[in-house]
């Protein structure tokens, strides 16, 4: 294998070094600094191994046996950050964290080869890679407190803040946590990522919490190599962006191991003792390009490339060791060549290890379903005395029939009473009880530690949920309106949904995200409060989407979602139709047809709603109307009128938008041979597309039609009725199908 420029420069630079007088390896290498000769030698070995992994990655790629070449060359100073931390401190790492990972692995008592094999198996996409199992090359390991991240845009920062929040909240609530009570969260990222909205959310949330006196033990580490792929970061920008109220700023030359370690020790000590955030700014270089396919000469001058080579952190650490008389240049080069040969031999071995062999194998970690376990856990209620106290002696089952909003409120209260690790939070959910009063009274009953307001940032809300969930809690965040969810969808798509997939279930983030959604509100309109777009949610693998329309379904389905989160680590989105929150009647004013009594715990088992099970109304044999949400009420009203005219109609409420209740759907369709899908979401990308596809894939040969809302945003006022599905359209489409 030919030597590339970086490796050749290292060898030549070491050859010219002059050995100094031998020093005590147990003493600091620099006066007043914490880095000893012994530690420097150990960290240099991990820095060297990290560099050799980058060389191996390119060799594997050249052989067609490797699939990832974004490396850590030039960033090996992050070994010092790992050394300043404890192996039990949760870490969410930048993709250039090779030296950090290898150092952390050794800190935990593992042999050097174990860390090397971890990374090489990832490069070779082997199923024996210990975290993602060949699904991606990530730094992660449950035994090392390294939470795997696939983010290239700093989307892990809000989650990292959530982990720091959860450490302190678990201590305040006296809950068990996977992290020590004095743990520090470390989150690393590149300089270009500082500009991403998710990074700004993470930094702002930490600062906001600290400003209010809340503990936030997180260390942000920006490894600043001055360039994002080919776009330069303005000099001084990272420091300017980092300086925020409540966040202590530290900086160091990331190419100087002694300087990096000294700054990291100070930063970690600050966070650990004060329980407040710090920003460690490491100035690094990027060697060997952004990735193996990157031709740096196309956008960087030879002078710039040479300047980076002169700052090579591997050369810098070698210089310190040789100057301290801890090793001679000749010994260092012999050690390097031996390590190089060893790493390449391990790389070759990695190509012979098994890889994923089928779609089933790839998808296995996505969403394991345990319906029997969910059915056992969902009906569990708090002890009678605890419930009596939670409801102040007025149990909901003794109350009059409830609206959808009231039913959700009482179910949340019952869940908070039985699950001490559960938290309800979001914008306005505490004292106000949410815009629609759904969470009214919960904070008074369960305290501000478990029911609390956040600042107005959906990315922050979901980040807190993600970090809390991976830390052993059961978060139930509220997103105030469906349209607002799109501001932060990557926190579900790229962070929540991928966690189990890329860790083979070693790390999960169980949560139930409550979202007030859909349209048809009276006197309160406009796009941001009447959004009917769910396509972006439905295409996220593994995410459960519940869409209850009736009060009794909402209670049972919410209990199911909470049980799925607890037993399977499921990410559930609970879509609540705003227009039905306070609806009481079905056909006529005063009929109370949309109210339902609150089922007592003794009957929760018999009223349990499994994930992916629909609900059928009527027994007609002429037409099946398939619908959900607001469409259920409209369809039932239309079906009654048709029934009065002699047509036999049945209405199927899907209830679950992902996974769709396929078996129930096909059964209901075959009973009539005619299916009308009444879909309040948009015609393109809406739920009806999925329903019709499932019917066709199943070989349904009957007639199918659909009525939907238009491919439009929802306008203000009465104009909304021009683009939203109407009851009249459902009835007219049904008549057409019935002939």
**Among all residues, which ones are annotated catalytic?**
529
Instruction: State the Cα–Cα distance between residues 590 and 584, nearest whole angstrom.
Output: 8
Instruction: State the Cα–Cα distance between residues 82 and 84, nearest whole angstrom.
Output: 5
Instruction: State the Cα–Cα distance between residues 444 and 456, nearest whole angstrom.
Output: 22
Nearest to 92 by CA among 22, 30, 162: 162
Nearest to 169 by CA among 469, 596, 411: 469
Residue 445 CB neighbours (<10 A): 15
Non-local CB neighbours of 718 within 8 Å, separated by 6+ positions: none
Residue 401, classed as helix, strand or coil, is coil
User: 221 forms bridges with which residues in the sheet?
Assistant: 188, 280
Half-sphere exposure for 13 (CA within 13 Å, toward CB): 19
Q: What DSSP assignment string belongs to 665-705?
A: HHHHHHHHSEEEEEEEEESSSSHHHHHHHHHHHTT--SEEE
Which tokens go with 388? Answer: 């009596």
**Residue bearing tokens 């869409």:** 547
Instruction: State the Cα–Cα distance between residues 352 and 419, nearest whole angstrom.
Output: 47
Instruction: State the Cα–Cα distance between residues 370 and 347, nearest whole angstrom.
Output: 38
Residue 480, classed as helix, strand or coil, is coil
Q: Identify the DSSP state of 355.
A: B
Which tokens go with 269? Answer: 């000590």
Kind plus residue range of the DSSP H or E element containing 114: helix 112-123
**Cα separation of the two ends of the chain:** 76
Tell me if 317 sits within 8 A of 258, measured CB to CB.
Answer: no
176 cis-preceded (ω within 30 degrees of 0): no
Instruction: State the Cα–Cα distance between residues 227 and 28, nearest whole angstrom.
Output: 33
Instruction: State the Cα–Cα distance between residues 578 and 553, nearest whole angstrom.
Output: 15
In degrees, rounded to 5, the angle at the alpha carbon of residue 299 between the alpha carbons of residues 293 and 302 is 100
CA R_g for the chain? 29
Surface-to-core class of residue 373, CB atoms within 10 Å of its CB (0-12 exposed, 13-18 middle, 19+ buried) = middle
Beta strands in 254-327 (DSSP E): 278-283
Residue 273 CB neighbours (<10 A): 11
Tell me if 423 sits within 8 A of 451, measured CB to CB.
Answer: yes
Beta strands in 87-146 (DSSP E): 91-92
Instruction: State the Cα–Cα distance between residues 615 and 601, nearest whole angstrom.
Output: 21
């Amino acid at each position: 294998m030919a030597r590339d420029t970086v490796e050749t420069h290292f060898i030549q630079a070491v050859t010219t070094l002059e050995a100094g007088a031998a020093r005590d390896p147990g003493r600091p290498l620099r006066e007043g600094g914490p880095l000893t000769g012994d530690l420097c030698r150990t960290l240099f070995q991990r820095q060297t191994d990290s560099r050799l992994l980058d060389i191996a990655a390119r060799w594997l790629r050249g052989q067609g046996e490797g699939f990832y070449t974004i490396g850590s060359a030039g960033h090996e100073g992050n070994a010092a950050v790992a050394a300043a931390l404890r192996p039990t401190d949760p870490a969410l790492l930048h993709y250039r964290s090779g030296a950090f990972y290898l150092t952390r692995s050794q800190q935990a008592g593992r042999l050097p080869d174990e860390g090397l094999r971890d990374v090489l198996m990832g490069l070779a996409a082997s199923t024996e890679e210990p975290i993602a199992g060949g699904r991606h090359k990530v730094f992660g390991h449950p035994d090392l407190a390294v939470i795997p991240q696939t983010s290239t845009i700093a989307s892990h920062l809000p989650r990292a803040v959530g982990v720091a929040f959860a450490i302190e909240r678990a201590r305040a609530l006296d809950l068990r946590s996977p992290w020590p009570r004095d743990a520090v969260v470390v989150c690393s990222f590149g300089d270009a990522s500082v500009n991403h909205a998710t990074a700004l959310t993470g930094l702002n949330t930490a600062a906001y919490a600290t400003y209010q006196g809340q503990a936030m033990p997180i260390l942000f580490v920006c490894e600043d190599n001055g360039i994002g792929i080919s776009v330069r970061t303005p000099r001084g920008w990272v420091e300017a962006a980092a300086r925020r109220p409540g966040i202590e700023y530290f900086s160091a030359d990331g190419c100087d191991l002694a300087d990096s370690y000294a700054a990291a020790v100070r930063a970690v000590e600050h966070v650990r003792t004060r329980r407040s955030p710090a920003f460690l700014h490491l100035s690094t270089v990027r060697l060997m390009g952004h990735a193996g396919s990157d031709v740096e000469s196309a956008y960087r001058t030879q002078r710039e490339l040479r300047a980076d080579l002169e700052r090579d952190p591997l050369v810098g650490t070698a210089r310190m060791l040789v100057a301290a008389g801890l090793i001679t240049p000749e010994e260092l080069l012999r050690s390097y060549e031996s390590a190089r040969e060893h790493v390449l031999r391990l790389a070759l071995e990695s190509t012979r290890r098994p890889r994923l062999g089928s779609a089933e194998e790839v998808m296995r970690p996505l969403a394991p379903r345990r319906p029997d376990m969910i059915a056992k856990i969902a009906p569990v209620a708090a002890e009678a005395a605890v419930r009596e106290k939670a409801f102040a002696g007025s149990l909901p089952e003794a109350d009059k029939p409830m609206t959808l909003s009231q039913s959700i409120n009482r179910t949340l209260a019952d869940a908070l009473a039985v699950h001490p690790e559960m938290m309800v939070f979001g914008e306005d959910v505490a004292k106000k009880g949410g815009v629609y009063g759904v969470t009214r009274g919960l904070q008074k009953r369960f305290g501000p530690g478990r029911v609390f307001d956040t600042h107005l940032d959906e990315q922050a809300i979901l980040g807190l949920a993600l970090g809390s969930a991976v830390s052993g809690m059961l978060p139930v965040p509220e997103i105030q309106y469906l349209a607002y969810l799109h501001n932060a969808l990557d926190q579900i798509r790229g962070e929540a949904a991928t966690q189990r997939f890329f860790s083979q279930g070693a790390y999960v983030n169980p949560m139930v995200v409550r979202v007030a959604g859909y349209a048809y509100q009276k006197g309160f309109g406009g796009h941001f409060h009447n959004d009917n777009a769910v396509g972006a949610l439905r295409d996220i693998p593994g995410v459960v989407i519940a869409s209850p329309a009736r009060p009794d379904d909402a209670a049972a389905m919410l209990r199911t979602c909470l049980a799925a989160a607890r037993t399977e680590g499921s990410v559930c989105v609970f879509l609540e139709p705003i227009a039905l929150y306070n609806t009481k009647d079905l056909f006529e004013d005063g009929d109370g047809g949309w109210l339902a009594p609150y089922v007592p715990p003794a009957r929760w088992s018999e009223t349990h709603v499994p994930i992916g099970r629909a609900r059928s109304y009527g027994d007609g044999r002429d037409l099946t109307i398939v619908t959900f949400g607001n469409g259920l009420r409209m369809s039932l009203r239309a079906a009654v009128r048709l029934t009065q005219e002699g047509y036999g109609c049945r209405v199927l409420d899907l209830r679950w938008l992902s996974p769709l209740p396929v078996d129930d759907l096909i059964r209901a369709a075959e009973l009539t041979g005619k299916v009308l899908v009444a879909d309040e979401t948009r015609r393109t990308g809406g739920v009806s597309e999925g329903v019709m596809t499932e019917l066709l894939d199943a070989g349904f040969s009957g007639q199918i039609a659909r009525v939907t809302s238009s491919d439009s945003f929802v306008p203000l006022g009465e104009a909304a009725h021009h683009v939203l599905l109407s009851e009249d359209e459902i009835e007219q489409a049904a008549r057409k199908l019935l002939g």
